[in-house]
Structure 1
Amino acid sequence: MVEPVIRRMRRHDMDSVVAVSLAADTLFARAGLELPPDDPREMVEHVEQVWVAEVDGSVVGLAATITLDDATHLEQLAVDPEHGRRGIGGALLERVCAESAAQGRNRVTLTTFRDLPWNGPWYERRGFTTLARTEWGPDLVRQWEIEEEAGILVRPRVAMWRDPSRARDAPALPI
């Protein structure tokens, strides 16, 4: 297995990042989930940080983050399905957590589909736990509302969190 190079996105990566995001979205369609159409460029333009995973000189994954309630919030984690199940998503997630810890933050949050194997259960295996709604800050509440207004809440979803300084609890398991 080739280890991905994880680095910050560069301007010239935009087309590749868009292609990876759109390719990753096909997994949802294959699972019978009809998501509202979106333009990955809009997401990239409004996030604070995008990490990319590069294999053999090609961008094959991305992790995009914003800040919500003084926490790092994982806006999107996507891997081209042709490169899935090789640890790329896990490597991106660990980079996000390491960067968050280096910034002195004590929480990484995300929203995800609760039951899709490569969503909620995947994050759970990597040390994330469900965040009770009573523990959400106002920014996370607003993020949830934005996703709901966009039509993303088409299946049970959850907000999850992890202490970024804690190493993941379980080894990466293929799904």
Structure 2
Amino acid sequence: MSFVVRRARHSDAAALPAIERSAAELFRVDPALAWLADAPVPDAEQHLQAVRSALVWVTEHTDQQLGGFLRAVQVDNQLHVEELSVSQHFQGQGMGRKLLLMAIEYAAERQLRAVTLTTFSDLPWNAPFYQRIGFSLLTPQETPAHLLDALNSEAAHGLPIERRCAMHLELKPQP
């Protein structure tokens, strides 16, 4: 399947909630996390704000259908991935990987120190997926403040903190 990764446009915002909801359906395979499939997601206006103020990339299929998106923000000379979602119909086709590689390339071009994220440590499409790309788990002592804040916020929203982890990918300085 052919698709491109590009920066999100304002007109893309309306499609992003459906992609996020569809991606969340995967949580139904884990009874303890199945509730996430029914949890609210940011609406189109919130996604539009992110397109305006954050870094958002989308995957676009050759028929102009959007299949996934990645939202990130720059924090302390690092690019923090806030969300990576791929619609169920497009999962397993490399869209998530391509979105992540685009974010890594963006961070490297700007000579940022690392790319960071928080995720589930035990779901195959979460921490193990990121580890295959080169991300490392951070110990609590290594975890920077912005990731500790993210983990605490996730716990406050009902995510099981014992299943969450912080990860980073160190970037080599460009000569």
How many residue pairs end up in the alignment? 165
Query: What are the equivalent positions in structure 2 for 1:1-175 lying under 5 Å apart?
Result: 1-2=1-2, 4-32=3-31, 33=33, 34-35=35-36, 37-41=39-43, 42=46, 45-46=49-50, 48-56=54-62, 57-153=64-160, 156-165=163-172
Unaligned runs of 5+ in 2: none
* Structure whose residues are more often helix by fraction: 2
Per the TM alignment, residue 18 of structure 1 is displaced from its structure 2 partner at its CA by 1.2
What SS does structure 2 have at the residue aligned with 1:118?
coil
Distance in 2, matches of 1:38 and 1:55, equals: 26
Distance in 1, matches of 2:66 and 2:88, equals: 12
Work out whether residues 44 and 50 of structure 1, in 8 Å CA contact, stay in contact via their aligned partners in 2: no
Moved more, 141-150 or 107-116: 141-150
Distance in 1, matches of 2:151 and 2:56, equals: 21
Work out whether residues 107 and 162 of structure 1, in 8 Å CA contact, stay in contact via their aligned partners in 2: yes
Per the TM alignment, residue 17 of structure 1 is displaced from its structure 2 partner at its CA by 1.1
Distance in 1, matches of 2:48 and 2:166, equals: 21
TM-score, length basis structure 1: 0.86
Q: Which amino acid aligns with 2:90?
A: H
Work out whether residues 113 and 155 of structure 1, in 8 Å CA contact, stay in contact via their aligned partners in 2: no
Distance in 1, matches of 2:125 and 2:24, equals: 12
TM-score, length basis structure 2: 0.86
Work out whether residues 71 and 105 of structure 1, in 8 Å CA contact, stay in contact via their aligned partners in 2: yes
Distance in 1, matches of 2:22 and 2:29, equals: 11
Identical counterparts, % of pairs:
32
Distance in 2, matches of 1:135 and 1:66, equals: 20
Unaligned runs of 5+ in 1: 167-175
Per the TM alignment, residue 130 of structure 1 is displaced from its structure 2 partner at its CA by 0.1
Distance in 2, matches of 1:70 and 1:120, equals: 22
The CA RMSD measured in Å over matched residues stands at 2.0
Per the TM alignment, residue 117 of structure 1 is displaced from its structure 2 partner at its CA by 0.7
Work out whether residues 13 and 47 of structure 2, in 8 Å CA contact, stay in contact via their aligned partners in 1: no
